[in-house]
Structure 1
């Protein structure tokens, strides 16, 4: 299959021959994965970096999003001369299985002969299913081995799953702001978000699309709930404090029980309303549940080190000091398990008050860490 011969961004959908058999036992006969690529694939095809996106991300990692018009979700990290340097690496990013930006998911038709979407009948998927589909895409592209797999949050879960499932295919791995399992607290947050969607009168039992409806209010509340967990108290205080809307301009709104009183409220409502324009509610339910199922040690009697036994992958595990959604202790546990597995592992905790979303924001220490680790790994890999 033809791949990039220049640094221009390319988009395509890859149809997987034979489909994908899921962990739940269901076989999806028709599977397409949407992806973008940027950079130049070298002659040896060994300079490929796979970037894995988080819960509400997609394949638009480095370029303007076609729906929102905003820059790619990691445009500050992926590009010429940036930490994931597209002058040196060929970068792939795929919309996960179960997503809603071109990959097969609840919004997709059940088969080529039937236009009706899967909806709530879409089978439950796991992070391992997402990675299994990505592995098949890599094979279809004729890539024998990935130089690196990089991602944060749910993307970090995919990085760990790649290293556990296909260690021979991953030279270097950078899981950040993540954990080897989804905690009870995080499952609880996800369930509150899902219940907000279910409670929306336009939910229509999950068949909202059949009635030309969208459970916009429920999905917006779900996004608002999740977004709170992505930030730290320090970040919220620094950005908004207790300021009323218009207060800095001397035009603060009068006190109101139901109106927008504080700037932080307005910010969250904006986050919620803009989210519903680009994300499908059933896809949100499917992907949050996939995160909840994630426990990489479960197939090894709870022994996380056993999941990486014998690995030759080089790891850089990154956490952020103010991340209370995936706290540093969980990243340390991953690093210790990798040490017990005799893996080559570095661990970095970055001091920041930006919370879980620090991996998406301007954080110079993160840039230095990723750039330095990839450069060192490239030297060991013999990349020109």
Structure 2
């Protein structure tokens, strides 16, 4: 059996990775998982790219939470990304905290965690690390790169930076740049973390006492952007929590009176057990810096001038984090570059998170696009 493939894999690659900041980073650790087998010509590789708080466990049980993979409904035998047909690779991004090099990793120069000495990274830097991994796995050209949200940004960068290595790119609920509103929400989250006394300037690893309160608030603020007003109203409305002996009563205090408050607090607290606060700072900054047109004199079409990839762009009508207008901007740029692109806006009441939830129409779109003849 080839030791490079399977679950809970980790590889140390010498690199160095040339970072957009001008620094080089080496060596780089990449944690990843693969599902399905690579065929004889290594032409059936599908790279699945995760979002901000995701990880490599897209179709397998998460080791910390025990929950199914974040895209287990999409990746697997007979599923839209069919592991009977494709060898699916999912890697933890550079800067994250589930095994790939990030702020919590040990700096070989100091034998201590990098903390805030870890270099500031970009989405392109994440993709450069993935490109090293794909080469390590012996794949010259990927059948597809697929991602939602920040994963869609990575798919776009793959097609721009490595046009000869991507046959198809599936970009779901994403954008080619981060808006001022999105940057603002991220800054609220970062400030919540850095205002927590336990952050200690990022040097909290030795004490094993992370800034959980700040990270929890950051997650709560971000989670609101992943939902829709209609979805929140339908699920919670203004309903009050039931209390012992007082069903649906106000406390006339600042406990979680409303069900939606309790929901957000649960989301925040559960997040702190599986994610690193410094990684949250680094990855949100990478997303804020993202503007694919920036290196091309502000002309997005030029980012795809050399691409031979086919594109499928998907948006959701209730997504206000990355609204359909952002997807249309990508499609217009691809049309300007004379690229082969399909676009669809899907209906869903679930906002940005719709790409993670059951949606038969999305399943059909992804399955059909991946299986279509070149």
What TM-score bracket applies, with the shorter chain setting the length? over 0.9
**What number of residue pairs does the alignment pair up?**
374
Secondary structure of the corresponding residue to residue 32 of structure 2:
strand
Shift of 1:254: 4.1
Q: What is the TM-score with the length of structure 2 in the denominator? A: 0.97
Separation in structure 1 between the aligned mates of residue 246 and residue 84 of structure 2, nearest angstrom: 49
Task: Verify: 1:116 aligned to 2:116, yes or no.
Answer: no
* Superposition pairs of residues 55-74 of structure 1, within 5 angstroms: 55-74=52-71
Name the CA shift for 1:69/1:342 in 2 (closer, same or farther; >3 Å). same
Where does residue 32 of structure 1 map in the other structure?
Answer: 29
Structure 1 equivalent of residue 20 of structure 2: 23
Contact 1:48–1:92 under 8 Å retained in 2: yes
Q: Is the CA contact (8 Å cut-off) linking 1:58 and 1:95 kept in structure 2? A: yes
DSSP 3-state at the match of 2:84: coil
1:223 counterpart residue number: 219
Q: 3-state SS of the aligned residue for 2:350? A: coil
Q: Cα distance, 1:82 vs. partner?
A: 0.6
Distance 1:3 1:16 in 2: 15
Q: Paired residue for 2:2?
A: 2
Within 5 Å, which residues of 2 pair with 1:253-332?
Answer: 253-332=249-328
Q: Which whole-Å CA distance do the structure 1 matches of 2:362 and 2:186 have between them?
A: 27
The alpha carbon displacement at 1:115 in A equals 2.6
**CA gap 1:314/1:212 in 2 versus in 1, 3 angstroms:** same
Q: How many Å apart are 1:207 and its aligned residue?
A: 1.1
Q: Deviations over 1:209-262 (max 9, x none)?
A: 233321011000000000000000011111111111128997335423211101
**Distance in 1 separating the partners of 2:249 and 2:60:** 38
Unaligned runs of 5+ in 2: none
Contact 1:310 1:342 in 2 (8 A): no
Structure 1 segment 216-255 matched on structure 2, within 5 A? 216-246=212-242, 251-255=247-251
Mapped pair 1:198 → 2:194: yes
Maintained 8 Å contact 2:321/2:352: yes
Distance 2:317 2:197 in 1: 40
Residue 45 of structure 1 pairs with residue 38 of structure 2: no
- Whether contact under 8 Å (2:49, 2:90) holds in the other structure is yes
Contact 1:4 1:40 in 2 (8 A): no
Q: Secondary structure at the match of 2:15?
A: coil
1:56-109: CA deviation from partner (whole Å, max 9, x where unpaired): 000000011000011000000000111000111100000000010000000001
Residue 268 of structure 1: SS of its match in structure 2?
A: helix
Instruction: Give CA deviations for 1:153-207 in whole Å, capped at 9, x if unaligned.
Output: 0000000000000010000000111111001110000000000101112111211
* C-alpha distance in 2 between matches for 1:298 and 1:260: 43
Q: Is the 8 A contact 2:239 2:248 kept in 1?
A: no
Change in 2 beyond 3 A, CA 1:82/1:249: farther
Query: 2-side partners of 1:74 and 1:221: how far apart?
Result: 25
Deviating runs (4+, > 4 A) in structure 1?
247-250
Query: 1:104-143 alignment to 2 at 5 Å?
Result: 104-111=101-108, 114-143=110-139
What secondary structure, in the 3-state scheme, does the structure 2 residue paired with 1:151 have?
A: strand
Q: Is the 8 A contact 2:4 2:137 kept in 1?
A: no
State the partner residue of 1:168.
164
Which whole-Å CA distance do the structure 1 matches of 2:244 and 2:223 have between them? 25
Query: Does the CA contact (< 8 Å) of 1:154 and 1:178 recur in 2?
Result: yes
CA contact (8 A) 1:310 1:343 kept: no
Alpha carbons of structure 1 residues 333 and 66: separation in structure 2 relative to 1, 3 Å: same
**Structure 1 gap ranges (5+):** none
User: Does the residue aligned with 1:312 lie in a helix, a strand or coil?
Assistant: coil
Secondary structure at the aligned position of 1:273 is classed as helix
Q: Contact (CA 8 Å) 1:4, 1:39: kept in 2 or not?
A: no
Whether contact under 8 Å (1:4, 1:10) holds in the other structure is no
2:358 to 346, 349, 362: 362
TM-score, with structure 1 as normaliser = 0.94
| Larger CA deviation: 311-320 vs 237-246 | 237-246
